[in-house]
């Protein structure tokens, strides 16, 4: 059995229209999209509060999400109109011809609005990755982000053009449902393969969803944070894979509409549901990482520090003494993530009256006093090291020129 929006005359003659009391669907999808839109507005409002008020770090990704509320609201309104006034809630044979023409027009509008909304959301997420990655990950990851943005923009341009130039003249896109007009003007218009074009666009969109949602896994590969924080962070970014599942279901329910039934307005109901859920959930997922500031258990400063690559001192030496004090080489982790009790330069309260021995005792790490030893990870080698025999660099071993006041002290000495 064939299918699609243009049934043959032999099929149409078997239909029994019922314009007065047709079988219709209820208000379920209208209520669904209204609730989804309300939740989306709440999530975006919380995102803006977190970015502008709490963290004071707004970016272009936030601007794109706010802009996306415009097409997303239009999508909600268009779906509601389609299911209440333009025949999406009843069988195709129970729709008068003017309603069928309008249903094709609003279908075209929904496809364009969806592409604008989903592309804006994906680019917003990718720009967030760029903000997250600058100074914290390799340039290769940033190049992947830019390539993904180019891929998304190319998708939008290509399938927008195919939508608007699907038929020439464009009015043939909806006039084809009129059997008499179609028979009379068969040689006056040309259209591309609508099912193939729509399914290709939907499939590529799902592939992009998986790419965008899977890119943070590259960051997780080198991250070194407590397991609890890693679980929370994985949950935040992992929500995006729910969006991927919605996209797959939308494709699964779209294929039968064009190949197994001519009753498109009635049988397309599940596809439109997943269409609506995917569009709104995409914005919520894009805003989820920004909401992490509302959860005290997720220490973002530690996560950001754990992604940074250790840098060497200018003297070019290697080993523990050849690394910058704040970024000792320990499997890519900074000292802040290895031992909170080991002081950073900003934590020193230097007093000129103290001797080197007093400074050493006051800032002596706690794990040197417990008489034991601990496992440390040096790159890929895991070894047992006795901290009493070979302790880490202590304050007196560090060039303390940054501690001194050039107006009152020399660089290499002080009074004891």
Domain 9-304 sits in CATH 1.20.1070:
yes
Q: What is the pLDDT of residue 332?
A: 43
pLDDT tops 60 at residue 308: no
Q: What is the pLDDT of residue 401?
A: 44
Burial of 78 (0-12, 13-18, 19+ CB in 10 A): buried
Residues 19-41 have pLDDT tens digits of: 989 999 989 999 999 999 999 99
Q: Between residues 29 and 313, which one has the greater pLDDT?
A: 29
Q: Between residues 137 and 350, which one has the greater pLDDT?
A: 137
Q: What is the mean pLDDT of residues 115-119?
A: 95
Confidence of residue 357 (pLDDT cuts 50, 70, 90): low
Q: Between residues 353 and 264, which one has the greater pLDDT?
A: 264
Of 174-183, 265-274, 351-360, the poorest mean pLDDT is in: 351-360
Confidence of residue 351 (pLDDT cuts 50, 70, 90): very low
Domain with CATH 1.20.1070 in the chain: 9-304
pLDDT tops 60 at residue 47: yes
Residues 199-227 have pLDDT tens digits of: 999 999 999 999 998 887 776 666 666 77
Of 68-72, 245-249, 357-361, 412-416, the poorest mean pLDDT is in: 412-416
Q: What is the pLDDT of residue 187?
A: 87
pLDDT tops 80 at residue 352: no
Q: What is the pLDDT of residue 411?
A: 43
Predicted TM-score (pTM) of the model is 0.69
């Amino acid at each position: 059995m064939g299918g699609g929006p243009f049934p043959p005359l032999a099929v149409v003659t078997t239909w029994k229209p019922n314009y007065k009391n047709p079988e219709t669907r209820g208000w379920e999808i209208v209520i669904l999209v209204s609730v989804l839109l309300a939740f989306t507005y709440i999530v975006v409002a919380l995102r803006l509060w977190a970015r502008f008020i709490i963290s004071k770090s707004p970016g272009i990704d936030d601007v794109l999400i706010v802009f996306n509320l415009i097409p997303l609201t239009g999508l909600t309104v268009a779906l509601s109109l389609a299911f209440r006034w333009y025949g999406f809630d009843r069988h195709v044979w129970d729709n008068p011809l003017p309603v069928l023409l309008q249903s094709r027009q609003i279908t075209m509008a929904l496809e364009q609005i969806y592409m604008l909304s989903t592309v804006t959301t994906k680019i917003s997420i990718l720009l967030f990755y760029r903000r997250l990655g600058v100074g914290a990950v390799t340039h290769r990851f940033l190049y992947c982000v830019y390539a993904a943005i180019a891929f998304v923009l190319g998708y939008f341009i290509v399938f927008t053009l195919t939508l608007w130039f699907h038929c020439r003249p464009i009015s043939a896109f909806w006039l084809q449902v009129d059997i008499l007009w179609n028979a009379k003007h068969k040689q006056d218009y040309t259209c591309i393969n609508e099912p193939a074009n729509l399914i290709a666009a939907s499939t590529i969109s799902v592939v992009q969803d998986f790419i965008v949602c899977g890119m943070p896994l590259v960051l997780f590969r080198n991250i070194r944070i407590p397991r609890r924080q890693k679980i929370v962070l994985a949950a935040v970014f992992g929500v995006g894979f729910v969006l991927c599942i919605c996209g797959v279901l939308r494709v699964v329910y779209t294929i039968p509409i064009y190949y197994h039934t001519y009753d498109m307005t009635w049988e397309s109901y599940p596809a439109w549901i997943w269409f609506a859920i995917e569009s709104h959930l995409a914005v919520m997922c894009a805003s989820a990482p920004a909401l992490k500031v509302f959860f005290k258990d997720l220490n973002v400063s530690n996560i950001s520090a754990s992604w940074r690559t250790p840098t060497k001192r200018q003297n070019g030496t290697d080993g523990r003494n050849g690394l910058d004090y704040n970024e000792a080489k320990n499997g890519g982790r900074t000292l802040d993530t290895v031992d909170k009790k080991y002081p950073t330069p900003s934590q020193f309260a230097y007093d000129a009256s103290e001797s080197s021995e007093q400074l050493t005792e006051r800032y002596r790490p706690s794990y040197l006093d417990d008489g034991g030893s601990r496992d440390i990870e040096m790159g890929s080698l895991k070894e047992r090291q006795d901290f009493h025999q070979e302790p880490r660099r202590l304050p007196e071993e560090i060039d303390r020129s940054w501690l001194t006041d050039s107006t009152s002290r020399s660089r290499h000495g002080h009074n004891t």
